[in-house]
Amino acid sequence: MSVSDAVGNCPKCDNPLHLQHDGSTITVDIAHQGERVSEALQKMQGEIDLARKGIAMSIRLVVGSGLIRDEVILTLRDLKFRGDVMDFESEPFNAGAVLVRLK
């Protein structure tokens, strides 16, 4: 069933939509195709927006270990503060990837 992004609860069962997921993780590389920082951030935002509409619980962003990673972390802090993502953390044993919890 398709519902508006503005709807917080399921119109049928009244459960919070942000808690409904299948536990899956989507992996997206935003830093290894020659992206500039601004392009990587745009790519990240687009992928997060798309994933939030789906049923995945999280998105794994492959960010590398340089400037793109630093800017992604700063942007994710803002997205978490605004409530656009639930949480995020650097992947254990791989500083070049960030796991973002969407639901």
- What's the pLDDT band for 21 if we cut at 50, 70, 90? low
Tell me the C-alpha distance between 64 and 99, whole Å: 13
**pLDDT at residue number 23:** 64
Question: Which of helix, strand or coil describes residue 17?
Answer: helix
Tell me the C-alpha distance between 91 and 28, whole Å: 14
Greater confidence (5 vs 80) lies with 80
Structure tokens belonging to residue 4 = 């508006």
pLDDT tens, residue by residue, 50-89? 888 777 889 999 999 899 999 999 999 999 999 889 999 9
What does 14-37 look like in DSSP terms, one character per residue?
--BGGG---S-EEEEE-SSSS--H
Q: Give the chain's domains with CATH numbers.
A: 18-101 (3.30.1370.110)
